[in-house]
Every structure is written in structure tokens, then in C-alpha cells.
A = this chain, B = another copy of it.
Amino acid sequence: MDADEKGLRARLVAVGVDLVLSEGQSAVSLREIARRAGVSHGAPRRYFPTHVDLLSAIAREGFADLTARVEATMRDVEADPRTRLTALARTYLDFAAAHRGMFELMFRHDLLDSGRLRLRETSLPLFAVLADLVAQVRRPTDAPAPVLAGALWANLHGIAQLWAWGSLPLATGATEDDALLHAALDAHLGPTPT
């Protein structure tokens, strides 16, 4: 009464999310999803005219998940903006690490139709949270707030990316993301106030 009542469309997306989480982005084929959903290979076409549409819907779910986690973090961590920012950054990196396949899919713009499904609009509020926090800790000599936020985001994203690629450990030999995370935060926002 669960899987049956949800409607095929929602079921397909759910199966796709499971699949991308467990097997990675390359495993998410229309036919495999149809198979796991127990329908014929042509069935998804009624709801998702093309593969890209289905992948976009799955990625959307990913952005929603990430947004929810970030909002939860913001709810839980009631402290000075710098601490909240650190928590946000960690949530971002944790998400990338724990849901590697989904994270990968979310930023594979070649696989997604960012226009049609307003995928970008889904990720914008997320950036807004970051930008807001950044504006609060910005020092007068720093770059303008949006640029500063963009640069910090890029840094976090780059860390997630390179860490997923597995090349940073080899290069820096550090305790990994934690060292880099704090280096990035300190660099962009100034040293942690002890």
C-alpha cells in the first residue's frame, strides 16, 4: 500500500534516487529504473519524455535533500555566524561524501536540464543561506559579499570534488577534508576567533 499508491511517476523517481545513491550515477538508466519499478521499459516515457528529464527529477530530489540538511543545521546550530558557517560547510562536505553518486549527478550539468525543471532555482536558496551568513562575518577589507560567498562556495565545492577524485590525500597528505575545510574557512573569513 506504499509503493502501489504513490503513482508511477513518484515511484520512478524514488527508485532512481535509491539507485543513484547505491550504485552511482552511471547505473541510472531508464530501463534499469523501469525494471526495478516493475514496469516495462517504455513506461517511464509517459512521465519523462527523455532520460535527461528523469535524471533532472532525481537531481532535484538531491538538492531538496541537501537543502533540508542545511536548514536543519541552521536550526540546530544557534551560535555566532562564524560557527554557523563552519557547520554549514561541514554539512555540505558531509553530504558530498555520504551521497557521492547523488552529489556527482547534481553537478553534472551535461546530464541535466537545468532550465526545464527549474533545477537552478532549487539550488539558489541554498546559496542565499551561505551569502547571508557570509555577509554577517565579512570584514571591511574583504571582497563584496556575493563575491566572497561565491569564492567560498567554490572552495568548498572544489574540496568536495577533488576529495571525491581522491587526489588530495596524495598531494597534501593531510587528515583530509578537515584540514582543508578549516584552511578554506580561515582563508576566506579570517582566522577563527579562538
List A residues at the B interface (Cβ < 8 Å): 24-26, 104, 107, 109-110, 114, 120, 123-124, 127, 131, 141, 143-144, 146-151, 153-159, 161-162, 164-168, 170-174, 179-180, 182-184, 186-188, 191
Contacts and interface: CB of A to CB of B under 8 A. Distances in A.
A123 B168 CA distance: 11
Nearest to A175: B147
A156 B141 CA distance: 21
A139 B24 CA distance: 41
B157 A191 contact: no
Given A24-B110, A147-B179, 8 more contacts: A109-B165, A127-B171, A143-B186, A146-B172, A146-B174, A150-B180, A161-B161, A187-B188
